[in-house]
Structure 1
């Protein structure tokens, strides 16, 4: 046999052996992948209900998102807003015609919230002046006193071209409630002011009445001298002073009564003594003139007693 045939024969033998080895390896790999595919198919069949549920949930959430976005128009995010000095509550925004903003357009403005990622509704604004990249706008509602002071001016504001009608109605109702609450607050403040004025007048009247009762010590001397005593020292003090003067007069009258009584008793005693002594004279009768004189003198004290006795009753 030619040597080339021998070489080819050996190459065929070697190739056949390699093919046998590779075929076994291929079958082993194929069986391994077939097993993995079968296991994956089983796992897929097990997870198919969950996938179905998640697809349904995705569709539902997508519908809810579409419903939530219904009525919301385009918006501008992360807008820089500055405070305008033109009018109260006016804003200057870094947004203009180049961004699609139009003059006299009504937009709905949200400011950054107190916490990161939150926004707070400020209100509806009307564009009053617009430039290429700048615009001025004013609020469409009546501001509460000091409301604009708490706005967080700067970057991070969000402006919507439109919001759902239900939200606009809710904000409108809140605005009306705020206005009514402000009016009630103003009415209560006015009522409180009136009540304080009435209280002040009542306190002045009370002080005047108390001064009439207990005296007005703060009256000037030139005014007090022309007023009745009870208006100066007070009605109570005047009554007490009059009662004290009456009591003192009663004491003096009582003392005079007692003194007169003692005097009358002494007089009668002396008169009786004189009559007795006159009767003891040696047989001499008492002259008629002396008797009449004695009787006349005895009538004088009696008249005096009656006069003095009449004075206390007048004082009483």
Structure 2
């Protein structure tokens, strides 16, 4: 693939641009362009690199006369119209493993935070109160953690929370029962997971099959007081249903790093964030120095591999639309 000129449309670590330039690729950094300006700029480029801010819509892809590849420095590609890119034979890449450890560690921190009421207790003490009885928690030892999505992040969460003495069960339509057993997760159908789980954490992409995966019916099937964690994507949990479950006590707590709308403005979302049983963070899953460098380097390595000019970088593990890659190899 002939990649001479790349537009970096969102802020990524300088390691990305440095590596591309080192391999003879011209790089222009123009961050957070309005859609009309992006449409004007995109015909000039062979490649586009984005993070979360820039939406690569069908209109943008249609205007891209020379575009060959779109790279997402991160895991989720819900901000890219993959179908439109595929139709135009534009390759879409992500960095599937770059954020895994950071997202995993935040998940584990939120689970332990809920168990011991760390955030509300700290705020109470700062406000001058001494609420020891109010913020009494519970142990994680012996509790059951349900992990929905047993890929890189789900696997890492399982390994770490097992060290706390948690029993780990999970569901993944791709990972086999035998593969899950290798890292001590009992893979079960969803209907068998809900009644067993003390905690549920989701690590799936947001696709039609996972939108509103956790809803009123599911929450009603769970143990009273079940706790929910989402460091994946907003929309996997139905926020209105979650709020009702929090109010009734059916859900004993939630830790949310992602929301249906970001930044959130919807009344339901804001009420969830302010709920005393909720720990909310502003999409920090990949916000570590290490993850930012890792995804920046991984996406640039894949761009370089596509040129076929490097003996060091030869693989593209983040191909999203494999049909396009197959067409390129014909």
Q: TM-score range by the shorter chain?
A: under 0.3
- Structure 2 length as normaliser, TM-score? 0.17
Higher relative contact order (CA 8 A, sep 6+): 2
Rg larger for: 1
- Structure 1 length as normaliser, TM-score? 0.18
Structure with more helix by fraction: 1
